[in-house]
Chain A
Amino acid sequence: MESTPTLPIPISYVSGRYLLFSIDAVTYLRREHNICGVLIGTLPQIPQQNVFLGLPLELMPEEARVLVDKGVACIVDEAKAHDGMRSLLEEDRRQYLRDLESQGQLATRILADRKDQLREQSLKEIDEKKAKGLAAKAAKAAQAAADAQIAASSAPASTEKDESSSIFAAEDEMSSLSRTTGTSTPAPQQTMGITPTTSYPPLPHPVSSSGQYLPKPKVPLSYPLFAHLHSRGYFLSPGLRFGCQYVAYPGDPLRFHSHFVVVSAEWDQEMDLMDIVNGGRLGTGVKKGFLLGGPQKRRDEVESEADRIETVRTFSIEWAGM
């Protein structure tokens, strides 16, 4: 589970989007680098459902940029990376298909084993329950017998009862035995089809092969604030939900409520005081703080975006309640 993918992680650039297709990369980035992204994959048959989305994971340009700046990831042109697909040797192709089939067989076997295990376990549970019920019945019968003895001392009736219950127990054992023997003959099952989410293999790993990466992602003016908060351990997600630029969580969003509704501004950008009232009210209304911040340097004042990140100052705003 705690696997570390080969670094740097290739981020696929597809028509203006930054995507991740490897589940190992997705879990690794979330675990180690506080990057959540947004799952955008639906089932081709049911594209309307949007509650449980899967791979690929789309990253904000800011997220991709932070990872590239940290040296954890690099941007790969997805179309170019697949140029090699046509020149793939027939022999390699067949080998790859064979690999997929053996993976499918393995998956089928594992699934079947798990099914058997579950069945055995539930059968055991049923038997245990029955045994418990029988014991209780026997105890009750004994109690009743004792009561009867006290009342009229009619012994033969109680022994008859005991016998009848033991007969039932034998029957139960028989039936459970027959059920387990029934499952021991496995039905011939179809091999599962495997659809890999990444194209390496058959292609070589996109990072090791070319070494030609796309330039760093272009980021909005709010990037320094994003990077500043990210460096402080906050998880940031897109802010549309709360009418802001980012929502900042103090830990993994699955475990924490968010702390801030984040809005970035340039140092000399004129803003309406009403925007601060709006933000403050909104934040307080959803039990969050309104975080306003930005870098003190303009883009034309510095050589790189990294110099702006160090100059970020932020202010947390809450309604005073008076």
Chain B
Amino acid sequence: MTTQQTQLPSLEPSALTKLIESASASGNPLAATTIQILHNLQHQHLWTSLEIHDISTDSIASDAPPTLISGIPPHRIYTHPDEQLYMLEKGIAEDDLRPERLFVIPTAQGQTWSLRRMAAAFDSLAAIEESSVSEEAMSTSESVDSEKAKKLDEYYEKKEMAKETKEWGTRRALLAMTNRGMGGEGTVVYYVVQEGEVKPRQN
């Protein structure tokens, strides 16, 4: 018995634990949540160009989560049913479209939540999106087929219009929840949240 115990190697903290410890010197539990979810997006879901947006300085956001994450998913996460119909009619595949930056609201199981917090997160999201929209629009797709390029231009034009009329959904974000307790087994679940009444997808 005793010999076995001494032979056990001392448990190394996991790579994620080390990352969280090194990155969040403040010891804020919410900062740890953000890092954990960023890590999950990067390595499990293979998102790229990940960024953390600090929104805690905003006056309205005292109740909101202090950070938002944004990144570019490898595949589209959400397509509004009407947008999907349009794409089918025009023969546009999802892979033809240029990647889009998507925002993520990091939360942890057990954290209290309310409509006010959700709304605050969306309000600060609006502010960030407006400032970053010009930079996103610059990155044009390098398509070779002129016919396809024309179709895509039409699509982007329509998308801009749909943004105004909200016919292809409204401002959206992913609500990410990581689990706490159970030894922190590391599950993160994602839900698409949109402001207002947006009809469901036909999945």
Q: Would B199 and A289 count as touching, CB distance under 8 A?
A: yes
- Chain A residues contacting B195 (CB-CB under 8 Å) are 313-316
Interface size on A, residues (CB 8 A): 40
Segment at the interface with B among A72-80, A91-99, A290-298: A290-298
Question: A260 an interface residue at 8 Å Cβ cutoff?
Answer: yes
Among A269, A277, A291, contact of B177 (Cβ-Cβ < 8 Å): A277
Question: B193 an interface residue at 8 Å Cβ cutoff?
Answer: yes
Question: A168 an interface residue at 8 Å Cβ cutoff?
Answer: no
CB-defined interface of A201-216 with B at 8 Å, one 1/0 digit per residue?
0000000000000000
Q: Would B112 and A270 count as touching, CB distance under 8 A?
A: yes
CB distance from B62 to the nearest CB of A (A): 13
CB distance from A46 to the nearest CB of B (A): 38
Question: A241 an interface residue at 8 Å Cβ cutoff?
Answer: no
List residues 111-130 of chain B with CB under 8 A from any CB of chain A: 111-116, 118-119, 122
Known: A318-B191, A322-B77. A273 touches B113 (CB 8 A): yes
Closest to B198 in A: A316
Known: A267-B115, A276-B113, A322-B77. A317 touches B193 (CB 8 A): yes
CB-defined interface of A284-319 with B at 8 Å, one 1/0 digit per residue?
100111011110100000000000000001111111
Q: Would A232 and B197 count as touching, CB distance under 8 A?
A: yes
Known: A265-B115, A267-B116. A259 touches B199 (CB 8 A): yes
CB distance from A276 to the nearest CB of B (A): 7
The CA of A168 and the CA of B26, in the complex, are separated in Å by: 105
Question: A186 an interface residue at 8 Å Cβ cutoff?
Answer: no
The CA of A171 and the CA of B78, in the complex, are separated in Å by: 74
The CA of A294 and the CA of B116, in the complex, are separated in Å by: 10
Interface size on B, residues (CB 8 A): 34
- Chain A residues contacting B111 (CB-CB under 8 Å) are 273
Q: Which of B116, B118, B191 has the most CB of A within 10 A?
A: B191
Q: Which of A229, A260, A274, A276 has the most CB of B within 10 A?
A: A276
The CA of A313 and the CA of B109, in the complex, are separated in Å by: 24
Question: B5 an interface residue at 8 Å Cβ cutoff?
Answer: no
The CA of A276 and the CA of B122, in the complex, are separated in Å by: 16
List residues 176-211 of chain A with CB under 8 A from any CB of chain B: none
The CA of A293 and the CA of B119, in the complex, are separated in Å by: 10
Question: B64 an interface residue at 8 Å Cβ cutoff?
Answer: no
Known: A277-B177, A315-B193, A320-B191. A250 touches B113 (CB 8 A): no
The CA of A272 and the CA of B108, in the complex, are separated in Å by: 10
Q: Would A289 and B190 count as touching, CB distance under 8 A?
A: no
- Which residues of A pack against B, CB within 8 Å? 229, 232, 234, 248, 250, 259-260, 265-274, 276-277, 280, 283-284, 287-289, 291-294, 296, 313-322
With A273-B108, A316-B200 given, name 10 new contacts (CB 8 A): A267-B115, A268-B114, A268-B116, A272-B112, A272-B113, A276-B191, A287-B203, A315-B122, A318-B78, A321-B77
